[in-house]
Amino acid sequence: MVDHDLPFLANISMLFTEVPFLDRPAAARNAGFDAIECWWPWPDRPVPSDGDVESFVLAVQRAGVRLVGLNVFGGDLAGADAGVLSIPSRSNEFRDNLPVAVEIGRRLGVRGFTALYGCRVDGVDPQQQDELAAEHIALAADHAATIGATIFVEPVSGPRPYPLRTAADAVRVVDRARADDHPNVGLLCDLYHLATNGDDVPRAISTYADRIAHVQLADSPGRGEPGRAICRSPICSRRSRRRDTATGSAWSTRRPPTPPPACAGCRPPAARPPDPASTTEGATT
- Is pLDDT above 80 for 58? yes
- Is pLDDT above 70 for 29? yes
* C-alpha atoms less than 13 angstroms from C-alpha of 230 in its C-beta half-sphere: 30
Cα-flanking dihedrals φ and ψ of residue 43, to 5°? -65, -20
Cβ atoms 245, 218 nearer than 8 A: no
- Is pLDDT above 70 for 110? yes
Other Cβ atoms closer than 10 A to 12: 31
The single-letter code of the amino acid at 95 is R
pTM equals: 0.81
Cα 74–Cα 64–Cα 15 angle in degrees, nearest 5: 45
**Mean pLDDT, residues 59-74:** 97
Q: What does pLDDT average to over the chain?
A: 81
Number of residues assigned to the chain: 285
pLDDT of residue 163: 97
pLDDT of residue 196: 86
> Thinking of the domain 8-266, which architecture would CATH place it in?
Alpha-Beta Barrel (3.20)
**Mean pLDDT, residues 10-37:** 94
Q: Which residues contact 229 (CB under 8 A, 6 or more apart)?
A: 195, 219
- Is pLDDT above 50 for 260? no
Closest C-alpha among 117, 122, 124 to residue 84: 117
pLDDT of residue 237: 45
